[in-house]
Each structure stands twice: as C-alpha cells, then as structure tokens.
Structure 1
Amino acid sequence: MTFTEELKATAQAMVAPGKGILAADESFGTANKRFQKLGIPQTVEMRRAYREMLFTAPGIGKFLSGAILFDETIRQSTEAGVPFPTVLAEAGIIPGIKLDAGAKPLAGAPDELVTEGLDGLRDRIAEYYGLGARFAKWRAVITIGNTIPSRHCIEANADALARYAALCQEGGLVPIVEPEVLMDGGHAIARSLAVHHQVLHAVFDRLYLYGIHLDRIVLKPSMVIAGVDCPQQASVEEVARATVQCLRDRVPASVPGCAFLSGGQSDELATAHLNAMNQQFKGQLPWTLTFSYGRALQQAAMQTWMGQEANVAAAQKVLLHRVQLNSAAALGEYNPERETAVSHA
C-alpha cells in the first residue's frame, strides 16, 4: 500500500462511526500535576502503569479508533514487555503521536502564543512511523481577550499547522490539525463564533496554500462555547447549533471528520454537546463528528485507579463506561440517565 492509500484509509478509520480518539499525550508536567493532586507518585514507572491501565481496558477497541501518545509513552511497554503501539494495534486502535513542542509566547504579540516544534520534524516523523505511529497531533492555542486574537497570532499558528501537516503527509502520518480557541475569559458565545470563523478560515487557507490533501487529515476543533467567566452561558442546543454553523461555513466537505477536543468542559457537558450536534444534524453533514478527549475520558478513571494495582479493573470499568457514553454521543444516541450507572458490558 502506498502512503497515499494508507493515509486515506487511516483518516477514514480514525473517524469511523461511533468511534473516537483517546488523547493520552499529556507531557511529563501535565501528567505529574494530575498525579500530584491525587497523591499519586510522579514517577516514570507510575506513568507507564497508568497508560497500561488505559490501553489494556477490555473491549476498549470497540469504541476507540485511535490513541494519541506522548514521546515517553510510545517507547514504553506493558509490564509483560509488549510495546504500547503493539498493544493498541492488536486492540484495533491506531497509535498516534503528539508532535508539537508546546505553545510559547509569540514575539511581538503580548498575551498570545505560538506552537513550536518544527525544527527536526521530518526526522522525528520518520522515527515515530518506525515505532508504529500512523497519525500525529499538533495543537495551536488561540486566546480570546479584549484586543486579541491578533491577525499576527492567527496567521502564525495557521502557518505552523500547515507546515506540520505537509511534513506528516510526506512521512506517512495522518495529521490531526488542532486549532484550539480557549474557553478562558468572559466572552459570549457570539464572540467565540466570530473567532472560530477567523481561525478556521486562516487554517484552511494555509492548508490549501501548502498543498495539503484534505481527505488525509482529521480536524480537531474546539466547540463554539461562551467563556467560562461569561455570566450568560449558552444552552447545549445553542452550542451545538453555533458549532455546526461554523463548521459548515469553514470546513470543506473533503475533510473526513472532526474529532472535538473537550477543552476543559466537564465530562458530562462535553458528551452532551457532541450528542446534540449529532442528534440535531443527523444525516445532514459531509463529515463525521466525534470526540478526541483527554481529561474528559480519563479523569474519573484516574481517580478510581489512584496508582494502586488493586484498583486497575475498577478504573478500567469506569474508563470503558465514559468511552461508551461518548461513542453513543458520536451517533446521537447518548442517554444522560446512563451517567449514574457504570456499564457492566
């Protein structure tokens, strides 16, 4: 199979109906902060054991198409010595890799960020492909404020996303293109919609300019939602309508699917928003709408696990329940009443 055929097949598989992507690509710092809050030791072995708990949950491959790994994780193995990419692939889950080096202050743009990591990227892609990765992720961060985002910030991040995507497709990895508009701030949903329009317009303009094959990418957008400090929070239905309106205006039909980030929403709200989109617009959209959640899939399982081997089975059951609920939401079949009952499936 050529890279072209492989990329198309992988992109389609990543957004298969009723399946989503587990974002398990937390950096050392992020993973350790979450462990510290729960009193879990912040060690390499503990991070490895935690990822093993996630990846070996029985039946998880029925509901996940892919899992995004961090550099440390893609090189680790189960306690029995099986590499994590092999564990995932055998479960029917496509291994992916985070490629960006994080968002850093953007020169000449106070309070704004640009994502770095393009240096040496071609060689890193080749190495990760050899380790079993078949897709990648790059996250751009856009902040809403009184006078931001600036055009400078939007264009710089769009350009980096396009350069990353071009290198990925050259090297055999499907690029997840993630332009995240943060929920931080007091802005209303109308302001969020306007900024999402600007950002997605710039991103697809650059993807086109760089010759990116849009049928070989997956978009990972944020939802159009009011800032967390806004006194007027939009309803679930309003968020669904605004988000889909924006995607219809800005996302070409050739893109196979959109796998939303949760962006700090609660587990239940992220699921409800995804479900409302798929319920309201079932059969009307050219692309699949699914999930690529991190904390919104993992947090409850981590709190159950607590770093204890004796808690692994219970934590895996909690994880599977959360993933099942989001799988249902990706089909527009989520029932909020199931939130209170951990599945025994």
Structure 2
Amino acid sequence: MTDFRKELAETASKLATPGKGILAADESTGTIGKKFASINVENTEENRRAYRELLFTTEHLENYISGVILYSETAKQSAKCGTKFIELLKKKGIVSGIKVDQGLKVLPGTNDETATMGLDTLDAMAKEYYGLGCRFAKWRAVLKISTTDGCPSEQAIQENAWGLARYGTICQANGLVPIIEPEILIDGPHSIEVSQKVTERVLASVVKALQENNIFWEGCLLKPNMVTPGSTSGVKATASEIAIRTVTALSRTIPPALVGVFFLSGGQSEEEASVNLNAMNRLEGIRRPWFLSFSYGRALQNTAVKTWAGKAENLAAAQAALLVRAKANGEAQLGKYQGTDDQSAKESLFVDNYKY
C-alpha cells in the first residue's frame, strides 16, 4: 500500500498558503441549475462548462485562490482550447479537488436528520480522481439545530462524525487530502450561544471519530460553519463576536496538528463572509494555531454569475467581479481587509436547507 503522507502534508500546506483560500465550484447539476434559472440561463452541459471556464481562466485568480473544488462532471471537462480544466488550474499553480459525497439521506429514527451517502463507492472514486490529477476531496455532512426537538440528536452527530472519519481515511489512503465538512445549518431561531455549544459538541465528536480512525492530521483540513445566530433569531451579531465565538469553539476542540480551517460561508452575504473571516485573523488573546481561511461558493460567485448572465460579452466584467471577491477574501485571510461600500456584495445569500 502506498504511503501518501509526505504528499498529503505538502498538498495541505500548499492549500494553506497565506493570502489564499479555496473556490468551491462543486455545485451539483441540480444546484447550478437553480443558479442559472435566476439569470435565465439554460442548464445545459455546455453552459455549465462555459461558466466554470469563466471562473478558472480569470487572470490573476491564482494570487488569491490555492485550490478549487470541482464537481465530477467538471473534473472531466476541458476549456475551449482543449486543455483539461485540472491541467489548466495546475498550470496556474492551483490545486484541484473533487466533491466525492453522493448527497444526503434521511437517517431513520430521527426527526428528518440526515446522513451523507457514498462510502461504498468512495475508494474507487478516490483512486479515479487521483489519477485524473485531483489532490484533495470534499465531503459534506449536515446537521441542524432545533431547540424544540433536540436536534442535532446524538444519533445524527455520531453517524455523521463516523462517516466523515471513514471518508477522511479512505481519501488519505488514495492520496487525497480530505476536507472534513461538518456543516451545522444556520436555519432556525436559535441564539449564537446555542450555535457555539452545538458547534463545540459536533466538532468534539468529529475529532474523536477522526482520531479513532487514525487520521493523518498533517494531511487533513477542516471546513466548518462560523458560529452565528440562527437565520430567524432576529439578532445580528457583530463580526467581533462571531470571530471570538468561532475561534473559541475551535480552540476547545481542534488539535493544533490540523493544518488549516477553511470556513464555509453558510448563506452569509459576500461582504459578511469576508468581514467575519478578517475579524478572526485579527483576533488577539485567543490561541489559533491553524491557518484560518475560506472555502466559499456563493460568497465568491454571486456577483460574478449575475454579471455574466450567460452572455459572452459580459465575460471580462464577470471575471473582474470574481477577482474582487477573491482579493477581498485573500486580504481577510491576512487580517487586512478594509471592507467595501458595494451594496451588491451585502445581498443575503441565505437559502433555507441549502443543498449542493
């Protein structure tokens, strides 16, 4: 059996390059179809390919993006010039990753809580995409908070923690750095205090499962939610409070050996996602031994896809919009983001029970 540990550590460190983060372009065919419907673009394979080419060929994207998460269809596609997307990204110094989970299924015995599918086919899939040039992977587990019915239940937490751990070690055995993504949905009226407690409880269980499955921490990344109030709580927390509570939750649960934490945006606006990340990287007085960065989808692409609107003549403007957000988040990773007055960047991106 090949020992990939040296390569895994090198890949994780490359992804955790100062001033850079990850572009999540792994929306499923159905999810990107909803995005296209909002701009009146038909959801065809060619339109999906053209849109991903727009993203990946953006000049200077590599200054702020160290990795891109691909959907299985995209990983096998090429730019118009004939160059495979994975090779195109590699030439820019960007590492390609692959979404390997097969979606969510209701977990019997729970109140519509879910488990993530795909472990049975993961070994073969990881081998295939490593061969295609991917060097990291993403697997999304989803938990919800409901103070009225006890969610997340211990059953859901343990099921998802074990699934993430098995996924992690299978990927590492095949040369892929696993991004461990236990997303706790923002949906609901819960307080930020509840969000922090649940986040700590979930992360502690995930870390225990990873340790029991002999994860190689130096070749592993985490993609958690930020600690925020529930979407219908009626309360808006400051960036400072979100930063303190999020980093505190991490410091109480995550081993220092983990290379990097790449936050999901979770329905925050483009600007909120940047400002909150910036606040974390400016914190003083709380230990944060890990690289703190971003792995955003909507919070990087929203303005860009609207600017593009499926029209070739809008390509340059859409790429410029993408670069603006990529640069903002690169600066936020360094704790140097100054904010923007652009109102379009402050548009809420929350979608109830969001699916990839």
Shared topology, TM-score over 0.5?
A: yes
Separation of aligned partners in 1, 2:343 and 2:191: 31
Give matches, 1:161-240, under 5 Å.
161-240=164-243
Q: Distance in 2 between matches of 1:2 and 1:177?
A: 20
Q: CA deviation at 1:283?
A: 9.2
Provide the residue aligned with 1:121 in structure 2. 122
- Which residue identity lines up with residue 314 of structure 2 in the other structure? N
Look up the match of 1:112: 113
Partner residue of 1:82?
83
3-state secondary structure, aligned to 1:104: strand
Letter in 1 for 2:292: L
- For residue 133 of structure 1, what is the aligned residue in structure 2? 134
> Which residue is equivalent to 1:274?
277
CA contact (8 A) 2:251 2:287 kept: no
Q: 1:213 to 1:331 in 2, by over 3 A?
A: same
Q: Find the aligned partners of 2:44 and 2:58 in 1 and give their Cα distance.
A: 22
CA separation of 1:114 and 1:339: change in aligned 2, threshold 3 A: same
Seen in structure 2, the aligned counterparts of structure 1 residues 338 and 281 have a Cα distance that, compared at 3 Å, is: farther
2:271, 2:340 within 8 Å by CA — same for their partners in 1?
A: no
Question: 2:199 corresponds to which letter in structure 1?
Answer: H
What letter corresponds to residue 245 of structure 1 in structure 2?
Answer: T
The equivalent residue for 1:64 is 65
Gap change, CA 1:44 and 1:156, over 3 Å in 2: same
Q: What does residue 287 of structure 1 align with?
A: 290
Please give the root-mean-square deviation of Cα atoms over the aligned residues, in Å.
1.6
Instruction: Give the drift of 1:110.
Output: 1.7
The unaligned stretches of length 5 or more in structure 1 are none
Q: Distance in 2 between matches of 1:207 and 1:17?
A: 26
* AA at the equivalent of 1:61: E
1:6-17 aligned at under 5 Å gives the runs: 6-17=7-18
- Within 2, Cα distance between the matches of 1:187 and 1:119? 35
Alignment of 1:260 with 2:263, yes or no, is: yes
With over 3 angstroms needed to count, the CA separation of the structure-2 counterparts of 1:283 and 1:152, relative to structure 1, is closer
Can you give the 5+ residue segments of structure 2 that lack an aligned partner in the other structure? 346-356
For 2:98 and 2:296, the matched residues in 1 are separated by 15
Q: Shift of the alpha carbon at 1:341?
A: 11
Deviation at 1:55, TM superposition (A): 0.2
Deviation at 1:232, TM superposition (A): 2.1
2:32 equivalent to 1:31: yes
Contact kept? 2:101, 2:139, Cα under 8 Å = yes
Report the CA distance between 1:119 and its aligned residue: 1.1
Residue 237 of structure 1 deviates from its aligned partner by: 0.8
Q: Would the alpha carbon gap of residues 282 and 260 (structure 1) be closer, same or farther in structure 2, given more than 3 Å must change?
A: farther
Name the structure 2 match of 1:5. 6
Taking the aligned partners of 2:8 and 2:159, their CA distance within structure 1 comes to 26
Q: Which residue of 2 aligns with 1:303?
A: 306
Corresponding residue for 2:252? 249
How many residue pairs were aligned? 342
| Segment of structure 1 superposing worse, 229-238 or 79-88 | 229-238
Once the two structures are superposed, residues 18-73 of structure 1 have per-residue CA deviations (whole angstroms, 9 ceiling, x without a partner) of: 10000000000000011011101110000000000000000000110100000000
2:221–2:258 contact (8 Å) kept in structure 1: yes
Distance in 2, matches of 1:188 and 1:283, equals 22
| Cα 1:192/1:336, change in 2 over 3 Å | same
SS of 2:38 mapped into structure 1: helix
Superposition misfits of 4+ residues, deviation over 2 angstroms: 281-284, 337-342
